[in-house]
Chain A
Amino acid sequence: MHLPIRLTKESREPIYHQIENQIKALISSGQLKTGSPLPSIRALSKDLETSVITIRRAYQDLEYQGFIKTTQGKGTFVAEIEDATKEKVKVDAVYKALEAAIETALRHDYTPIEVEQIFHTIIANYKNKEE
């Protein structure tokens, strides 16, 4: 089983964290349903070209937070999670993406007010498309 995970080596976000967040997103968005199997630690390590040490850490965090469960001898599966948790993952992901965009703008010496204007322009475009 192959997971659509993309690692960004340039990112400041540690690799185990990237893996963790992307699996959370796959689960919260319903792309990975309750009970579906996850790749073994070794198989994911080969796919992502990352050591098992890092994958293990991501899986442990996910298990601790209740997103996945491991059954001895059977493998790792998506756990049943509450809608509130799913919602929180979505909200977090969107906030994070917007924060990253704002940071990029600030790094290019835009002021917060200018960033706001850019945001309004972009959102206006999307609104137009919807209509």
Chain B
Amino acid sequence: MAPSIECKNVRVENEDFALGPVSLSFEPGTISALVGKNGTGKSTFFKLLMNLVSPTEGDITINGQSILGENEAWKQRISYQPQTLKGMDSFTGKELKKLISNYYPTWDEDLFTKMINQFGIPLSKPYGKLSQGVQKQLNLALTIPRDTEVLLLDEPTAHMDIPTKQILMNILVEWMERGDKIMLIASHEIEDIRKLADYLVLFQEGKIVGNYVKEELAAQYKQYWLEHPLSSQPLPGEIARNGDRVIISNHPEKTESFLLTEKQRWLNAEVLDLEEIITIVLNHERKGEPI
């Protein structure tokens, strides 16, 4: 059966943090990137999906089964790679693999061996003796081969060198091709987002700004270089201005039809880079301005 994840009105609140309400669903065969500044709730969202943090309100289901109940069968269908792991320092890679592989009936030994070889990880060294980057690689090699239907990765490419990142990206792409998988990645690396994400879920201060198909979000923003200086009046769709001849619009059609009726010509119109768009969206929301 194809997996699905559904969050209905999920809210979590404690003394120092509030997240939600979050209503999101994730479909099989897709990768969603969770994007937001530090401390906006991405890691908490993962912990909610793993039932490591209990929601104050709402429900989360995996394949229709609530993860909040007594039945914990869902735990074998989802794997989670947190940013950092504690309590592993004295174990070697070999020992950790033995512990973890026993728990997952879907464990793929061949994939594990392949990842260890491609990354070049020493399995007999204690975890605590490995560099940060290699620890990350080992974590991934202990997580991805679980081959569960759902995979949650919290900043998988942080501290990773460029060639290793490429190896990981290929592994993740191949992994997605194994079938109806769902992958969620929290990342600050624009390259991960460009190459891997189908959807972007934008987080801002414990709220979800939106869940967008990557290129649909990209198509919403355009920058215009105008022939003549503008009056100080904002144009329809305008969200930012650079000098008096460059504007950014998040409703290109509205802006263009206004410019046409005003007989104001533009010399160039350019789609913005994904990185610029994410910056604009996240900064605007912070100031509470509607976009």
Contacts and interface: CB of A to CB of B under 8 A. Distances in A.
A45 B215 CA distance: 11
Interface stretch (A20-28, A48-56, A79-87, A89-97): A48-56
B196 A53 contact: no
Interface of B: 29-31, 169, 173, 176-177, 194-199, 213-215, 218-219, 269-271
B196 A46 contact: yes
Contacts, number: 38
A51 B287 CA distance: 30
A51 B173 CA distance: 12
Contacts of B198: 45, 51-53
A2 interface: no
Q: How large is the interface on A (under 10, 10 to 19, 20 to 34, 35 or more residues)?
A: 10 to 19
Interface of A: 9-10, 15, 40, 42-43, 45-46, 49-54
A40 B31 CA distance: 15
Contact of B195 (A10, A46, A54): A46
Contacts of A42: 173, 176-177
A50 B215 contact: yes
Most chain A beta-carbon neighbours within 10 Å: one of B199, B214, B218: B214
18 contacts: A9-B218, A9-B219, A43-B173, A43-B177, A46-B173, A46-B196, A49-B194, A49-B195, A50-B215, A51-B30, A51-B198, A51-B199, A51-B214, A51-B215, A52-B30, A52-B31, A52-B198, A53-B30
A46 B169 CA distance: 9
Contacts of B169: 46
Given A50-B215, A52-B29, A10 B173 contact: no
Contacts of A15: 215
Contacts of B29: 52
Given A9-B271, A10-B269, A10-B271, A50 B173 contact: no
